[in-house]
Amino acid sequence: MYFSEVFVLSFDFANKLLLVMKKGHYLRFLVLPLLFLVSCSNPRDTPLPKDLSNIETIKPSLDKLSPEERGFVAGYIMRHTIGAAFGSAFGVKADPIPDGMTIGKAINEQKEFIEKQKSIEAAKKLEKEKADAARKVLADQMAKVLTVRLIDIQLHKATYSNFDVNNSINLTFSFENKGLKTITGLKGIATFKDKFGDLISELPIKVDQEIQAGKSVTISLSKNFNQFDSGDRNLASLEAAKTNFSISPEVILFSDGTKFDVTNTQNK
């Protein structure tokens, strides 16, 4: 029997099957093969290529996905190809695409990854909010004990004589101890804003000089000046009288061994 004869017989059989269907008989014989064909064409069952150079092979399956699903697939592929190759340089570990990975599995894993990242970010945000709240408590406590004023900002240019070889920004502060105990040291973050309230610079400061109860002291601190750093240039150009200055404390030490500590809102 030739191929043409087989084709004719098959076509004839199909026509007869359709006639039977029209009479409502044996519909299940057609429905089951159709379901099988639909399941086989599910784009989620398409294997994911392990090499980006073969990504075009899955384009027909990707076109059948929703935009959101395509986004999940793209994120998974990027994370496990480019991320696996270069992630270690940024402290992020990602494995290459494993054998047997399909589009459906990639979508599910990327969803889980995103949810996990959201949980991590939410935890970080909560910790930051707790730290900010603790810092505010300490700032309120410190305001009753210590007043800090910015007196002067000066840019010092190196003279290259007598070992003067560094450009620096010299900052002069007045510290007034309004409490009943001698302050033996403090550290925190100094914030400098211009007259519009725009942030210019944030600097860590540490003061080791004692400040007697009920007394004021003038303390000078300095930082190296980098002419290529816009933050340094902007800070050096500020006028102390027009600068919105504040200190966010981290630790204040007292002569009796007690302290305010931002990592613990209870005084020690």
Please give the single-letter amino acid code of residue 7.
Answer: F
Query: What is the distance, to the nearest Å, from the Cα of residue 146 to the centroid of all Cα atoms in its chain?
Result: 35
175 has which bridge partners? 148, 217
User: Please, what is the Cα angle at 179 between 252 and 128, to 5 degrees?
Assistant: 35
For 193, residues 6+ apart whose C-beta sits below 8 A from its C-beta are: 199, 200, 243, 244, 245
**Phi/psi at 257 (nearest 5 deg)?**
95, -10
**pLDDT on residue 133:** 83
pLDDT at 154 over 90: yes
Cα 232 to Cα 150, 191, 201, 228: the distances in Å are 17, 13, 8, 8
- Helical residues (DSSP H) of the chain, grouped into ranges: 3-22, 28-40, 59-63, 67-80, 82-86, 103-145, 230-236
257: DSSP letter: S
pLDDT at 197 over 60: yes
- Provide the token pair at 16: 């007869």
- How far is Cα 77 from Cα 80, in angstroms, rounded to an integer? 5
Residue 189: Cβ within 10 Å count: 15
Query: What is the distance, to the nearest Å, from the Cα of residue 26 to the centroid of all Cα atoms in its chain?
Result: 60
What does the pLDDT average to over 186-211? 91
pTM of the model: 0.51
- How far is Cα 155 from Cα 130, in angstroms, rounded to an integer? 37
Q: How confident is the model at residue 25 (pLDDT cuts 50, 70, 90)?
A: very low
Task: Compute the CA torsion angle 75, 79, 85, 88 (nearest 10 deg).
Answer: 140
**pLDDT on residue 86:** 65
- Provide the token pair at 109: 């894993």
**Phi/psi at 134 (nearest 5 deg)?**
-65, -40
**pLDDT on residue 263:** 60
Per-residue pLDDT tens for 34-78? 333 444 479 999 998 888 788 889 999 999 999 999 999 988 988
